[in-house]
Structure 1
Amino acid sequence: MTDTVRSQAVAALAEAEKITATILPEANAAQVTLAAAPAPQAEAIRKRMAELDMGNTQSIISFGSAAQQELQVISQQMLEDVKNKDVGPAGDGLRNMVATIRGFSVSELDVRRERSWWEKLLGRAAPFAKFVSKYEEVQGQIDRITETLLQHEHKLLKDIKSLDMLYSKTLDFYDQLALYIAAGEAKLAELDAIDIPAREAAVAAAPENDQVIRAQELRDLRAARDDLERRVHDLKLTRQVTMQSLPSIRLVQENDKSLVTKINSTLVNTVPLWETQLAQAVTIQRSREAAQSIKAANDLTNELLTANAKNLQETNRVVRTEMERGVFDIEAVKQANATLIATINESLAIADAGKAKRAAAEADLTKMEAELRDTLASAKARRDGVGTTTGTAV
């Protein structure tokens, strides 16, 4: 909440307390009479009796209406204000603020929560970034609702002042009705006791040709008297309704004052408390995030120390082992020597086998050569013998 709004809220609170401290007068339910009225009231009653003209019907019908004109002007102004504003906007503003705060989920503070693949796919912010964004959004909403509530508060203060004026005018109208009712009842008593009996005597004393006119005048006076009696009765009903409206005005005022007090309490006390708690939540979360970062760094350092120690141990083992070894391992020399001896023996065996095979082959070749020679010699002998025999026969 800005400093300007806060100062306006404090000023509105002071004005609301001033208006709330105003005590309105109570209505006097007792009906005053001309005989029992003190001198100022008796003079006022006689003044209103003088407004009556029993020969003018309009005078009787409009009797007491003058007191209502100023009240009607104020009532019409208030009705116009009611038409120009929404119904229950202040209550809606308070409910919106509560809903805004309730929508701020502190569970989103868990930075250790891994984003789901769906959140990563949609490019959603990390939990803490989302939390800060939500905090800024809520702060903006609170500021806007605070300004709206302050506007509603000014309207309610204006309504309370208007209701004070309406109550004062209604109470004045209530007292004026009492005077008009007293004047009407006094006029009725005067008519019944003086004017109508005088007209009746005039009818009785009138000549025969004037009696019809005098009788009509008597009838008109009695009719006017009945009209006045009905008008006085209407004024009594109006006074009763007016008496009932006074507590209603006071009740509406009390409700508006209570709402103004609630708005001020919200603006001056609750909203700063909410803002403080939200700011603390962000600060605490940032501290937690920093602590998590430090913890991660320390854990990484420990892991590096442990890993380096293990690597040093393994490397030292390999290096020392290689350093203690000869140029050739004795096992490798023995194996190479055995392999060499086996190779030499194998070569000698192969050479002996080859020599034996060659000797056998030479014997076979000598035998095959002798056999071939014998075969050729035998063939030649048979060819020579065949030729001799053939020549002799020829």
Structure 2
Amino acid sequence: MSDTVRQKAAEATTAVEEVTAVVLPEPQAEVVSMQDADEPVSAEIRKRMDEIDMGNTNSIVAFGSGAQAELQEISQAMLADVRNKDVGPAGDSLRNIVTTIRGFSVSELDVRRDRSWWEKLLGKAAPFAKFTAQYEEVQGQIDRITDDLLGHEHTLLKDIKSLDLLYDKTLNFYDELALYIAAGEEKLAELDSSEIPAKEAEVQAAPEEHQVMKAQELRDLRAARDDLERRVHDLKLTRQVTMQSLPSIRLVQENDKSLVTKINSTLVNTVPLWETQLAQAVTIQRSAEAAAAVRDANDLTNELLTSNAANLRESNKMIRQEMERGVFDIEAVKQANADLIGTIQESLQIADEGKAKRAAAEEDLKKMEAELRDTLAAAKARKDGIGDNSGTAVPN
């Protein structure tokens, strides 16, 4: 979490404590009649009774509607604010941050594992490099989500305050309805006990030619009285619905307060704890990698010591053996002497064989020379005419 987000979360803690400490008043269950009310309430009931004009139907229809005007303004302002919101539910952000943390799996990391040929082919980073990159990515996601959560928290705080105002106005409307209902019932009782009987007496006392008009006035008065009774009944129903909306407002508000508290706890306590654990995970992996490097260095040192000792022994053995040898090995001299004797013997044998072959060749040459001489003598005799057939004869 960045320092800015941490500071904002700490500042929001005070606002969360303020909104959660607000205690909403409870509504009154019963409507107090004018006779049972104290003087200020009785005066308010009488004031609302004066709004009724039995000769004006609109005053009866609109009786009690003015109390709802301010409540409607508050409700419409809240609805407009809800429509103008461009943020998702705060619960989604909480789920996102949990998903982000769960996606960071330290158990999958093995700094000693070599990359497979497939990972090398795809150019994937080594395990620890991938782990560090994933940590940085998770850290960035946490910063973005926490900043988003701060926005949700401020929005919910604003909603809670608006709900406080809406609850107060609804409660005022609920109490105002009680005054209008008491005023209406008091007016109905007044009509039934005095005005309608007085009008009936006027009809009875009126001359015959005016009785029709007086009777019509009596019917209009009774019709207006019935309209007022129906209006008072509607006000009672409205008050009942308003009373049901009060706990609904409180329920929504309590849910918002719980969510604000959870968000604030997540920002102030949980997220720093997560970041601490992630930082520890990175430090642990770095320590493991350093320990592995130290172990490899120690192993290499031991290997060098043992291999150098073995090489020194072998080299010393070879050097000492060569130092103790003569310039020529006796075995080499014996072998060379034997080879020399064998060479001389072979040379003498070859020379003898050559001499014998030359002697045999001389005998063959003498023989061939004699044969050639005889042949030439025979050819000369044919030329002298001695022996005509001698040219065809085979020499002896």
Shorter-chain TM-score category? Answer: over 0.9
Shift of the alpha carbon at 1:122? 2.9
1:247-287, Cα deviation, whole Å (9 max, x unpaired): 10110111000001000100000010011111111111111
Q: Distance in 2 between matches of 1:280 and 1:307?
A: 40
Q: Is the 8 A contact 1:160 1:257 kept in 2?
A: yes
Structure 1 segment 42-121 matched on structure 2, within 5 A: 42-86=42-86, 89-121=89-121
The answer (yes or no) to whether the contact 1:178–1:239 under 8 Å persists in 2 is yes
The match for 2:212 is: 212
Asked if structure 1 preserves the Cα contact closer than 8 Å seen for 2:71 and 2:166, the reply is: yes
Supply the AA of the counterpart residue of 1:299: D
SS of structure 1 residue aligned to 2:273: helix
Is this contact kept in 2: 1:108–1:128, CA < 8 A? no
Amino acid at match of 1:93: S
CA separation of 1:365 and 1:67: change in aligned 2, threshold 3 A: closer
Give 2:356's aligned amino acid.
Answer: A
SS of the counterpart of 2:326? coil
Separation in structure 1 between the aligned mates of residue 226 and residue 297 of structure 2, nearest angstrom: 103
What are the superposed Cα offsets for residues 209-231 of structure 1, whole Å, 9 maximum, x if unpaired? 11111111111111100100000
Bigger shift: residues 177-186 or 371-380: 371-380
Task: Report the CA distance shift for 1:385/1:231 in structure 2 as closer, same or farther (over 3 A).
Answer: closer
Identify if the C-alpha distance between structure 1 residues 374 and 59 changes in structure 2 by more than 3 Å, giving closer, same or farther.
closer
Counterpart-to-counterpart distance in 2, 1:197 and 1:90: 64
Query: Structure 2 CA distance, aligned partners of 1:201 and 1:383?
Result: 208
1:242 paired to 2:245: no
Deviation of the 1:372 alpha carbon:
4.7
Which amino acid counterpart does residue 6 of structure 1 have in structure 2? R
Distance 2:46 2:382 in 1: 198
> 1:266 aligned to 2:250?
no
Equivalent residue runs for 1:1-394 within 5 Å:
1-86=1-86, 89-373=89-373, 386=386
> CA 1:322–1:41 in structure 2 vs 1: closer, same or farther (change >3 Å)?
same
Partner Cα distance (1:248, 1:385) in 2 = 168
Unaligned runs of 5+ in 1: 388-394
Structure 2, unmatched stretches of 5+, are 388-396
Deviations for 1:135-178, whole angstroms, at most 9, x for unmatched residues? 11211111111111111111111111111111111111111111
Decide which moves more: 210-219 or 223-232: 210-219
Greater Cα offset, 180-189 or 368-377: 368-377
Q: TM-score, normalised by structure 1?
A: 0.93
* Structure 2 partner of 1:392: none
Aligned residue pair count: 387
Q: RMSD between aligned alpha carbons? A: 2.0
Letter in 1 for 2:203: V
Q: Percent identity, please.
A: 77
- Judging changes above 3 Å, is the alpha-carbon distance between structure 1 residues 310 and 186 closer, same or farther for their aligned structure 2 residues? same
1:125 is paired with a residue whose SS is: coil
Deviations 1:79-107 (A, max 9, x none): 11111125752111111111111121213
Question: Partner amino acid for 2:136?
Answer: E
Seen in structure 2, the aligned counterparts of structure 1 residues 368 and 83 have a Cα distance that, compared at 3 Å, is closer
For 1:193 and 1:100, the matched residues in 2 are separated by 75
Q: Note the alpha carbon deviations across 1:111-130, whole angstroms, 9 max, x for none.
A: 22222223323322222222
Q: CA 1:189/1:358 → structure 2, altered by over 3 Å: closer, same or farther?
A: same
Cα distance in structure 1, aligned partners of 2:380 and 2:35: 198
